[in-house]
Amino acid sequence: MTGDAPGAVGHEVLRLWPSDLCRFLSATTGQAVHDPEAFPLTAAFAPFAHPVWAIGGAADHPDDGGSLDALPGLDHRSGAVMGLGQEIEVAAPPPNGAVLERRSQLTGDEPKTGSTGSFRLLTVRREVVADGRPIATQLERFAVRDRP
């Protein structure tokens, strides 16, 4: 741990481009999707698809400019980072072209020992708003282990 990482807050501003949503839908559905507006997502899926695009993998990982990297002072780059689990609450899908703000806060960083050896357990809470409207919150847990 270095710097002022505990409680550190990262802030990113993103734009939801239709082309990104096309890639998301193409990957998840296995179909070629060229027009996200025309794709028949039901209410059961749409509230998930958009926030996951927004808060999703969006780079929780080291060395790659990810959102863990957005947390000031967090030293995680020397280890192998794996996501352990997620708790996501979704509010509403944002419109295409919306400007998203994503705030990430490190809420936990503690040493652990498991069946596969010792690791650091990081807990990150994220909130996403689109045009000032809440879209989703996410609680994510990571393990950071020494590289083999």
Partner 1 sequence: MTAFRARRTFHPVDIALFSAATWNPHRIHLDEQSARADGLPGIVVQSHFVPAALLAALDGDRDARGRLGIGDRPLRAISWRNRRPVLAGETVLYEASAEDDEPGSVTWRALVDGEVATDGRLGFDPGEPGGS
> Applying CB under 8 A, which residues contact partner 1?
14, 20-30, 41-49, 52-53, 56-66, 80-90, 145, 147-148
- If the CB atoms of residues 6 and 100 are measured against partner 1, the closer one turns out to be 100
In what helix (H) or strand (E) does residue 28 lie, and over which residues does it extend? helix 18-29
Q: What letter would DSSP give residue 44?
A: T
Q: How far is the CB of 42 from partner 1 (least distance, A)?
A: 5
Q: How far is the CB of 143 from partner 1 (least distance, A)?
A: 10
- Residue (48 or 123) nearer to partner 1, CB: 48
**Smallest distance from the beta carbon of 69 to partner 1, in angstroms?**
11
Write down the residue that tokens 């990113």 correspond to.
12
To 5 degrees, how large is the angle CA 145–CA 59–CA 12? Answer: 125
Residue 109 exposed, middle or buried by CB count within 10 Å (0-12, 13-18, 19+):
buried
Q: Which is nearer to partner 1, 60 or 109 (CB)?
A: 60
